[in-house]
Structures are given as structure tokens and as C-alpha cells.
Structure 1
Amino acid sequence: MGTMTPELFIAWVQTRYQLPNKTASVKKAAELIRTREITIWQWLRGARKASPSMVLLMELVARHY
């Protein structure tokens, strides 16, 4: 799978749950990894970097769900 990024995770969420847009995907992703939507938007904008533990969590969720 390579290195997971917030962008890849959002794309995976959108495909996996057949969501209509990025906003819906960010909302679902926040639920899945138990973080706030604003945090994910900050990652996507590059305003903040996802911590190694969050990257690992995104990888695990994408692999097992």
C-alpha cells in the first residue's frame, strides 16, 4: 500500500463508503479514526502534519475495514 497520507485515506473512505464528496468523506474519516473534522482539513491543507500514530491508524483502518 505504501505510505498512507490523509489524501489517500480520504480517497479510500470516499470509495469504500461511496460518499458523494470530500466533505462527506472527511466527516466519515473523522468518525473512523476518532478525530475532529477540522484536524483532517488541516492535514489536507498542509497546515498541520498527521502524527505517525495517526498515519498508522489510517493505514490499519484502510487495511482492515
Structure 2
Amino acid sequence: VNLPFTLEIARASGLDTIASGGVRDMGDIDLLLECKEIAGVIVGKAFYEGTLDLRAAIAKSKIK
């Protein structure tokens, strides 16, 4: 995830921003959950390749 660029877009636009591309694992999800400017995330390859447990990511997002 290119977090600095995604945050720049979110802050400049003032709109709900979805992080997309580059999510590798729960570490990236943890970083994104700390950013209140990020409204969501799209994951694909990490889920497909098994480097991200989608159920765990969803559960963790509901805690925050």
C-alpha cells in the first residue's frame, strides 16, 4: 500500500477514500486501520495468494 500517497489524496479531496492495490498482509491492514482518513480497502491478490486472512481482517476492522 502506498500509504503516504493514499493519505495525500484523502486529505486533499476531503472525500471518503478507499485504499486499493498493494495490500500484502495484516500488517498493511493494521496500518490502514490507524488512518482515520481512509474509509476502506480493496484486497485481491493477497487474499487469492493466501497472505491475508480475510475473516481476520474483517473482524479486526469491526473492533476499531
Whether the TM-score (by the shorter chain) exceeds 0.5 is: no
Structure number having the greater helix percentage: 1
TM-score (norm 1): 0.27
TM-score (norm 2): 0.27
Structure number having the greater strand percentage: 2
